[in-house]
Amino acid sequence: MAVFAPSPQLTVTVEVLDDKPDIHVHAGGQGVWQSRMIKSLGVDVVLCAALGGETGQVLRHLVGVDLVSREVTARNGAYVHDRRDGARDPVVAMPADALSRHELDDLYEMTLVEGLRAGVAVLSGPAADDEPVPDSVYERLTRDLRDNGCQVVVDLSGGRLAAALAGGPTVVKVSHEELVSDGLADSDALPDLARACRRMAEQGVRAVVVSRAAAETLAMYDDGFVLVEPPRMSTVDTRGGGDSMTAGLAAGLAEGLSMEDALKLGAAAGAVNVMRHGLGSGSGEVVRELAGRVKLERWEDNT
Q: How many other CB atoms sit within 10 Å of the CB of residue 202? A: 9
Q: Is the pLDDT of residue 238 over 70?
A: no
Query: Letter for the amino acid at 115?
Result: G
Digit-coded pLDDT (tens) for 159-169: 999 999 999 99
What integer pLDDT is reported at residue 273 of this predicted model? Answer: 67
Digit-coded pLDDT (tens) for 242-280: 899 999 999 999 999 999 999 999 999 988 866 655 554
Q: What is the pTM of this model?
A: 0.91
The model's confidence at residue 236, banded by pLDDT at 50, 70 and 90, is: low
- The percentage of the chain sitting over the pLDDT mark of 90, rounded to a whole number, equals 81
What integer pLDDT is reported at residue 130 of this predicted model? Answer: 77
Q: Is the pLDDT of residue 170 over 90?
A: yes
Digit-coded pLDDT (tens) for 50-105: 999 999 999 999 999 999 999 999 999 999 999 998 888 999 999 999 999 999 99
Digit-coded pLDDT (tens) for 181-208: 999 999 999 999 999 999 999 989 999 9
How many whole angstroms from its chain centre is CA 9? Answer: 14
Give the span between the Cα atoms of 28 and 47, in whole angstroms. Answer: 12
- DSSP structure string for the chain: -EEE-SS-EEEEEEEEETTEEEEEEEEESHHHHHHHHHHHTT---EEEEEEEHHHHHHHTTT--SEEEEEEESSPPPEEEEE-TTSS-EEEEEEPPPPPPHHHHHHHHHHHHHHHHHHSEEEEE---TT--SS-THHHHHHHHHHHHTT-EEEEE--HHHHHHHHHH--SEEEEEHHHHHHTTSSSSSSHHHHHHHHHHHHTTT-SEEEEEETTEEEEEEETTEEEEEEPPP---S--TTHHHHHHHHHHHHHHTT--HHHHHHHHHHHHHHHHTSSSTT---HHHHHHHHTT-EEEEE----
